[in-house]
């Protein structure tokens, strides 16, 4: 923090990507101002409190907390002084239609027992996790840590000889099947793709690095609810002198030639800027704030949105003791689930459902003796050519409740004392994400080979992007990386 720089950076949006960029830039000596349309920071890291229940409206699984720790340690502080986090056991509980229940645990001996329960050779699971770890190390060394943005960066950093190590010619599912025989284990490890809202059938095999994020670095929860992470980061921003403007929607990023010059706010105010960082996703920002022409927008089509979700929060007047903190209720036909959501782009007939019962481990989030559930099936992003009506989403909600009641949550409907539902349209309105996407850009080997948009604008020299629509993509730790890597890029582009 010794260096003071002359440039003023303005950030559009206060999602975790924007926050990470703001903190990292302030640490590099830049003067930073943030403009957020909502009345609190955090973006999708959001919460709802009602009738004694507290729900995480967005993320509920924290992984790779060391990336968050970095933001604090670079200012000589400790994450633990700002937010209390802890690991969870099991990581996930997996329920199947035939009554089989399998837990995921990072301890090899415990996981071996679960593998046997699933009819899988524990050595095969160990072999798969070793393969996953090797992929993680490879992806982490360049793509994550160096902030590589395209195939040219990849060639330069990795060299052509390393390319085969990425398992380039298989899908994620193809490689899962090469290692694992049991249909239960295949379904579970395919569903790690949920971390980036994509399809295991379409994602490249190197996305099998995802289980390592959990098995090597553990799975974490923030006491009192995940929003406490945003509160902690908010405190750090305040201490670093970052100016945060809430209820300040940016309507235009002004430009002159190949430079951006200022922001215009909804209230008519103009904010001059030397550098702009957009945490609004790339496609909506170019379309709505910069008003780019169609030929330019067409080039961005490959950065198709990841899936959206139906976010269903239920406050119950009872507990379901069979639930762990994190639970998955698997589709009877996960192939059909993936194909429906990501190829046909229709509501799946039998989705795999993610269900969080934070009240299992945190007594502060529900009244005594009660559970609070967040239920999240992945569903297609909004299609303007074939919109899904609210009535159809509500019918889909009933299908979800039917499935959960059938798979053991008896009388679930009768136990509900509070209900809150968000459709993709609500997600779009709240965060302005592209077509209601919840994880930014999809990872698809045929569309973009899992590359997201680059962090530096290809059109304006002093415009940068952070968050789920740029590399390395969606999910809390990844957007934190995007912010850190964009800040490093900005510092290098603007030497003192």
- Helical (H) or strand (E) element with 197: none
Question: Least CB distance from residue 371 to ligand FAD, whole Å?
Answer: 18
Stretch in the footprint of ligand FAD (CB under 6 A) among 10-18, 168-176, 290-298, 441-449: 10-18
Question: Least CB distance from residue 470 to ligand FAD, whole Å?
Answer: 9
Measured distance CA(250)–CA(234) in Å, rounded: 20
Question: Least CB distance from residue 347 to ligand FAD, whole Å?
Answer: 17
Show the site string, 297-326: x = touches ligand FAD by CB under 6 A, - = not: ------------x-x---------------
Q: Using the CB atoms, write b or e for 281-301: b if 16+ within 10 Å.
A: bbbbbbbebbebeeeeeeebe
Stretch in the footprint of ligand FAD (CB under 6 A) among 56-64, 114-122, 146-154, 156-164: 56-64
Among 10, 11, 17, 359, binds ligand FAD (CB under 6 A): 17
Among 303, 381, 431, 451, binds ligand FAD (CB under 6 A): 431
- 410 CA to centre of own chain: 31
Structure tokens at 329: 């209720």
- Helical (H) or strand (E) element with 87: strand 85-87
Show the site string, 320-359: x = touches ligand FAD by CB under 6 A, - = not: ----------------------------------------
404 lies in the binding site for ligand FAD (CB under 6 A): no
11 lies in the binding site for ligand FAD (CB under 6 A): no
12 lies in the binding site for ligand FAD (CB under 6 A): yes
Closest CB to ligand FAD among residues 357, 376: 376
Closest CB to ligand FAD among residues 148, 481: 481
Among 10, 27, 32, 58, binds ligand FAD (CB under 6 A): 58
Among 9, 11, 14, 380, binds ligand FAD (CB under 6 A): 14
Measured distance CA(289)–CA(413) in Å, rounded: 43
88 φ/ψ angles, rounded to the nearest 5 degrees: -120, 145
Closest CB to ligand FAD among residues 120, 473: 473
Measured distance CA(433)–CA(453) in Å, rounded: 14
Structure tokens at 215: 């098995």
Closest CB to ligand FAD among residues 191, 432: 432
- Helical (H) or strand (E) element with 315: strand 311-316
35 lies in the binding site for ligand FAD (CB under 6 A): yes
- Helical (H) or strand (E) element with 11: strand 8-12
Strand positions, DSSP E, 193-302: 220-222, 243-245, 250-256, 259-265, 270-272, 275-278
Task: Show the DSSP H helices in 407-452 as ranges.
Answer: 412-415, 424-431
474 lies in the binding site for ligand FAD (CB under 6 A): yes
User: What secondary structure does DSSP assign to 147-173, as a single string?
Assistant: ---SHHHHHHHH-GGGGGGG-TTSBHH
433 lies in the binding site for ligand FAD (CB under 6 A): yes
Closest CB to ligand FAD among residues 13, 305: 13
Number of residues that bind ligand FAD (CB under 6 A): 37
147 φ/ψ angles, rounded to the nearest 5 degrees: 70, 40
Closest CB to ligand FAD among residues 120, 149: 149
Closest CB to ligand FAD among residues 44, 337: 44
27 in Cβ contact with 240 (< 8 Å)? yes
471 in Cβ contact with 482 (< 8 Å)? yes
Structure tokens at 198: 């994509």
Question: Least CB distance from residue 197 to ligand FAD, whole Å?
Answer: 8
250 lies in the binding site for ligand FAD (CB under 6 A): yes
Among 27, 38, 331, 423, binds ligand FAD (CB under 6 A): 38
Measured distance CA(185)–CA(114) in Å, rounded: 10
3-class state of residue 63 by DSSP:
coil
Question: Least CB distance from residue 88 to ligand FAD, whole Å?
Answer: 12
**How many helices (H) and strands (E) in the chain?**
16, 20
466 in Cβ contact with 452 (< 8 Å)? no
Among 24, 60, 443, 491, binds ligand FAD (CB under 6 A): 60
Among 45, 79, 210, 409, binds ligand FAD (CB under 6 A): 45
In the complex, the residues that contact ligand FAD under the rule CB under 6 A are 12-18, 35-38, 43-45, 58-61, 249-250, 279-280, 309, 311, 376, 431-433, 438-440, 467-468, 474-476, 479
């Amino acid at each position: 923090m010794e260096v003071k720089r002359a440039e003023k950076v303005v950030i559009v949006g206060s999602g975790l990507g924007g926050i990470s960029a703001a903190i990292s830039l302030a640490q590099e000596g830049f003067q930073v101002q943030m403009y957020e349309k909502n009345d609190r920071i955090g973006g999708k890291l959001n919460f709802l409190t009602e009738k004694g229940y507290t729900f995480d409206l967005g993320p509920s699984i924290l992984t790779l907390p060391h990336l968050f720790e970095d933001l604090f340690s670079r200012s000589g502080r400790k994450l633990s002084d700002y937010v209390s986090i802890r690991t969870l056991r099991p990581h996930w509980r997996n329920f199947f239609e035939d009554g089989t229940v399998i837990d995921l645990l990072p301890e090899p001996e415990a996981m071996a027992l679960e593998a046997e329960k699933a009819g899988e050779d524990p050595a095969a699971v160990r072999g798969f996790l070793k393969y996953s770890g090797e992929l993680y190390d490879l992806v982490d060394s360049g793509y994550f840590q160096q902030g590589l943005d395209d195939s040219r960066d990849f060639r330069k950093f990795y060299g052509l000889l390393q390319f085969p190590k990425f398992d380039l010619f298989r899908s994620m599912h193809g490689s899962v099947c090469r290692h694992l025989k049991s249909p239960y284990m295949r379904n579970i490890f395919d569903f790690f793709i949920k971390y980036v809202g994509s399809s295991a059938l379409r994602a490249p095999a190197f996305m099998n690095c995802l289980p390592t994020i959990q098995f090597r670095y553990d799975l974490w929860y923030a006491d009192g609810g995940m929003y406490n992470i945003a509160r902690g980061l908010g405190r750090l921003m305040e201490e670093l002198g970052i100016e945060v403007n809430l209820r300040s929607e940016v309507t235009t990023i002004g430009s002159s030639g190949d430079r951006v010059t200022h922001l215009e706010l909804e209230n008519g105010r103009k904010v001059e800027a030397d550098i702009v960082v957009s945490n609004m996703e790339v496609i909506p920002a170019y379309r709505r704030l910069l008003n780019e022409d169609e030929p330019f927008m067409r080039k961005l089509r490959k950065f198709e949105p990841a899936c959206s979700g139906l976010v269903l929060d239920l406050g119950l007047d009872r507990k379901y003791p069979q639930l762990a903190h994190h639970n998955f209720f698997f589709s009877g036909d996960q192939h059909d689930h993936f194909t429906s959501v990501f190829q046909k782009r229709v509501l799946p007939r039998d989705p795999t459902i993610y269900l969080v019962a934070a009240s299992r481990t945190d007594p502060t989030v529900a009244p005594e003796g009660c559970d609070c559930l967040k239920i999240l099936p992945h569903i297609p992003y909004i299609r303007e050519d074939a919109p899904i009506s609210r009535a159809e989403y509500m019918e889909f909600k009933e299908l979800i409740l039917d499935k959960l009641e059938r798979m053991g949550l008896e009388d679930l409907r009768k136990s509900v004392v509070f209900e809150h539902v968000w459709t993709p349209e609500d997600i779009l309105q709240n965060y302005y994400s592209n077509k209601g996407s919840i994880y930014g850009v999809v990872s698809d080997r045929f569309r973009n080979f899992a590359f997201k948009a680059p962090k530096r604008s290809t059109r304006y020299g002093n415009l940068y992007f952070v968050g789920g629509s740029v590399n390395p993509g969606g999910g809390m730790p990844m957007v934190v990386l995007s912010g850190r890597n964009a800040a490093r890029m900005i510092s290098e582009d603007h030497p003192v």
